[in-house]
Structure 1
């Protein structure tokens, strides 16, 4: 049995558990969301919008136990092969102690108006955070465009320069079945908050050669949480 079938069953079971939790402990359930405008939607270093701006937004229903269900969407541009990404996540996050925290779950990447085979796929993810450091791993048994087994190993660090300005560092290794397709992505950015809106400016790059959508660029984003 393929993992995608198993993951679908897990998502269904998780949603049922979430609904049961909502009805039993309605006072412990919280709905939150965000909306973002970004000058370029770069996913793991590669532009998903042909280096054009994107509108993004998400909603998360979470329980005080740490379980959550999230939906997230973004405009995309795959050269006429799709204009929308819509993702669903089911996971759990929580603190191990005062310094360590964990986040694990399963995610379905969906492209509703994309017609080519393999555009939709599942991914298992997990991350461990210690103070301002985060280390994570994502895995898919059949990645985007039927690329086969895929791993994403990454690390991040956020350094508070001032009370309202942070330096954000990220590096990630993308590992495919076909090792020739594997690559490294990284970013260096600054983030702050002005009048209740989040602002970020980041330099994003990969080690992929001869790829316009993978070249270095500076990306500006503004977001609002609610």
Structure 2
């Protein structure tokens, strides 16, 4: 995708006249989605799940055969203190029936304005009886990451959705702390409970890692914070 098209996408997504988080259209046999949040299910959490800039958004194009392509920009790089970031992906999704299916794909992470800021991730998973289980391997010279995740869907009796994610990061170059010790890698994890309430999506997230204190200087993982943290998020779609 060219930068002008991305900027056009940003203009559409940030226009005062556009209050919806997602636009969906049929283009022949293809299903086209344009929105401010990632729309791809198995890749969510692998493509950037949250925005890091004032202008963000993406598009997704899928075919009934199961093939899909898309691109999500957590930052369009149009603000003075922001950098253009792109998560481009392609994959294949297939359901054998209503209870069993699988999905595989590839994500390309890039920052076109920064030389060498590229990496790739392979992902795949199974959907079984409404739950999703998957994993991914991201190849980045500075931080090679293996991720496992499980989305259990709605838990019986509790009326909440449960999602768990665990990742291990291997640093390309050991990080040296002030006392001379080195960190070669670390693990982090998150647990999320979510449910709708009066038209609002409520999310309670617990996240943590095995780093603490000065070791957090080496942290660059899946969570927004290195040490134990509880976050409550509430968001509402406009339609």
Q: Give the distance between the partners of 1:32 and 1:194, measured in 2 at CA.
A: 25
Q: Secondary structure at the match of 2:160?
A: strand
The residue number in structure 1 matching 2:212 is: 209
State the partner residue of 2:220.
Answer: none
Q: Measured at CA, do residues 133 and 204 of structure 1 come closer, stay the same or move farther in structure 2, by a change above 3 Å?
A: same
Q: 1:168 and 2:166 equivalent?
A: no
Segments of structure 2 that go 5 or more residues without pairing to the other structure are 1-26, 38-44, 173-182, 217-223
C-alpha separation between the residues in 2 aligned to 1:219 and 1:119? 32
Aligned to 1:62: 62
Show the counterpart of 1:71. Answer: 71
**1:67-103 deviation per Cα after TM superposition (whole angstroms, max 9, x unaligned):** 00111111399xx985342111111112122211111
TM-score by length of 2: 0.61
Q: 1:221 to 1:109 in 2, by over 3 A?
A: farther
Structure 1 unaligned regions, length at least 5: 1-25, 37-42
Q: Check 1:167–1:176 CA distance in 2 against 1; reply closer, same or farther (3 A cut).
A: same
Q: Is the 8 A contact 1:126 1:136 kept in 2?
A: yes
SS at match of 1:214: coil
1:151 to 146, 149, 154: 146
Residues 1:190 and 1:55: Cα distance change in structure 2 (over 3 Å)? farther
RMSD over aligned Cα atoms = 3.8
Contact 1:161–1:167 (CA under 8 A) maintained in structure 2? no
3-state SS in 1 of match to 2:97: coil
Q: For 1:110 and 1:225, how far apart are their aligned partners in 2? A: 31
1:96-135 aligned at under 5 Å gives the runs 96-113=96-113, 115=114, 118-135=116-133
TM-score norm. by structure 1 comes to 0.64
* Structure-2 change in CA distance of 1:159 and 1:119 (3 Å): same
**Which residue pairs with 1:139 in the alignment?**
137
1:182 equivalent in alignment to 2:186: yes
Aligned to 2:34: 33
Q: Which has the higher contact order (CA 8 A, sep 6+)?
A: 1
Contact 2:67 2:93 in 1 (8 A): yes
Distance 1:223 1:58 in 2: 19
2:76 and 2:184 mapped to 1: Cα distance?
A: 26
Select 1:191's aligned residue among 181, 191, 195: 195
For the 8 Å contact 2:124–2:134, the answer to whether it is kept is: yes
3-state DSSP of counterpart to 2:225: helix
Equivalent in the alignment of 2:10? none
Matching of residue 218 in structure 1 with residue 231 in structure 2? yes
Distance 2:232 2:54 in 1: 11
Higher helix share: 1
Number of aligned residue pairs: 183
Q: Residue in 1 aligned with 2:42?
A: none
Structure 1 runs (4+) greater than 3 angstroms displaced: 46-49, 52-56, 80-84, 177-180, 223-226
